[in-house]
Amino acid sequence: MTDITTGAPAGRARGGSASLKGAGLLALGIAAALAAGFGLGGDPFLLNLAGYTCGFAIFALSVNVMLGGLGEVPLGHCMFYGIGAYAPAMAMNHAGLPYEAGVAIGMVVAALIAAPIGWLTLHLTGAYFSIVSWGLSGVAMVTALNLDVTGGPLGLFGFSRLAVGPFDLSRPQTYFFVAAAILLAVLVVLYHVRGSRFGRAMEAIRQGPHLARSLGIDVFRERLKALVLSAPIAALAGALSLPYTQIVTPEVMSVLRTVDALLAALIGGVGLIFGPAVGAVIFTILPQFLDLDPNVKVLVFSLLIILVMVAAPGGLHQLWKAAAARLSHARKGDAP
């Protein structure tokens, strides 16, 4: 899987030009968000979906910290997403706390749970790590099904007020702008993380854990940091899904949610910092406009992902690059 590295340099911070490029991308993101927010006009359904997509993109980014960052497949990441969705729901319905407090609690809890889980499981790699991770989310789902505080199989619903400060998330346009702003903030954070010492250590570990260790990198600690970084981001994404779903059920921790995020990350490109976000948009918006049956959607995207993995493990943009390279090669061949 070394091919992924070919996609990496695009998003790497190195010197002034890179941070300038980062600022440019950020401006582009803000412009896109504003255009989408006002361009979608008054259609509340599309705006809500767009808000939800931003949340989903955040989840894909969180999953990609593990996938693109460490080269692990965190099948159980949906657990942190579920914690993030359940925390504000429980805070509002049982404790009478506001939504923001619940979101903050969820993120803290996710990080606190991630630390011991990581400490126990991150010694495992590859399929072993994926299976244990999946297993933990399975246990979490069964727990949510069986407890009373989580509302059992029916879940929690009927939330009092979904708002962040003065911004009322039950208004679709506000929801979208808040979600988009948080998405951009997460992107900025991850961009800086990637350029940091920690980010470069992760990249070294992904390319070769043994070599990284020989260079003095504490592999286990960096892997642990990556999980503890990504868990609250996943929780944030889960919390942001509430205004769209209006309900939390144990299904929120279904492994299929992680798989969706993995697909989004892979389509967008795991080596690119904004790849997962682009993939998330493709993954949710495209089927909406094509009016696909959900099962056709799963079939199409599964086949697409197989194609990506077989032909372009770094993301769809690799196909484009390969085609461009072949084209320019062919032209050169013709010239003399």
Partner 1 sequence: MDLLIQTLINGLILGAGYALVAVGLTVIFGTLHIVNFAHGAFFALGAYATLLIERAGAPYLLAIPLAVLCVAAIGFALEATIVRRALYDQGEHGSIIVTFAISQAIVAAIILVVGPDPLPVPSPFGQTAVSVGGFFLSAQRIFIAAASVAVLAGFALWLRRSVKGQQILAVSQNARGALYSGINVPLIRSLSFLLGIAAAGLAGALMGPMISAFPTMGDANVIVAFTVVILGGLGSIGGAMLGALVIGLGNALFETYVSVSWTPALGWVLVILVLLLRPQGLMGRAQLDRH
Specify the residue, 169 or 308, whose C-beta has the smaller distance to partner 1.
308
What is the enclosing helix (H) or strand (E) of 297?
Answer: helix 294-311
Q: Is 119 in the site for partner 1 (CB under 8 A)?
A: no
- Per the CB < 8 A criterion, the answer to whether 269 and 7 are in contact is yes
Nearest distance from C-beta of residue 307 to partner 1, angstroms: 9
CB of 117 to partner 1, least distance (A): 10
Amino acid (one-letter) located at 67:
L
Q: Which of 48, 93, 130, 173 binds partner 1 (CB under 8 A)?
A: 130
> How far apart, in whole angstroms, are the C-alpha atoms of residue 171 and residue 162?
10
Q: Which of 250, 202, 261, 200 is nearest to 227 (CA)?
A: 202
Please tell me whether residue 8 binds partner 1 under the rule CB under 8 A. no
State which residue, 180 or 282, has the beta carbon closest to partner 1.
Answer: 282
3-state secondary structure of 255: helix
Pairing mode, if any, of strands 167-168 and 247-248? unpaired
The whole-angstrom separation of Cα 76 and Cα 78 is 5
- Among residues 77, 64, 70, the alpha carbon closest in space to that of 273 is found at 64
User: Residue 248 corresponds to which tokens in the numbers above?
Assistant: 């939390």
CB of 306 to partner 1, least distance (A): 5
Minimum distance between the CB of residue 147 and partner 1, rounded to whole angstroms? 11
Comparing CB distances to partner 1, the nearer of 19 and 207 is 207
| Residue 332 exposed, middle or buried by CB count within 10 Å (0-12, 13-18, 19+) | exposed
Binding-site size, partner 1 (CB under 8 A): 41
Which region, judged by CB under 8 A, interacts with partner 1, from 101-109, 127-135, 179-187, 232-240? Answer: 127-135
- Of 189, 296, 322, 325, the residue at the interface with partner 1 (CB under 8 A) is 296
Q: Directed axis angle between helix 126-146 and helix 78-90, to 10°? A: 30
Which of 132, 219, 247, 285 is the binder for partner 1 (CB under 8 A)?
132
135 binds partner 1 (CB under 8 A): yes
- Does the protein bind partner 1 through residue 154 (CB under 8 A)? no
Among 28, 30, 120, 211, binds partner 1 (CB under 8 A): 120
Applying CB under 8 A, does 211 fall inside the site for partner 1?
no
For residue 272, give the nearest of 68, 60, 17 by alpha carbon. 68
Q: Give the footprint of partner 1 on this chain (CB under 8 A).
A: 1, 67, 71-73, 75, 120-121, 124-128, 130-132, 135-136, 138-139, 142-143, 145-146, 256, 259, 262-263, 266, 293, 295-296, 298-299, 302-303, 305-306, 309-310, 313
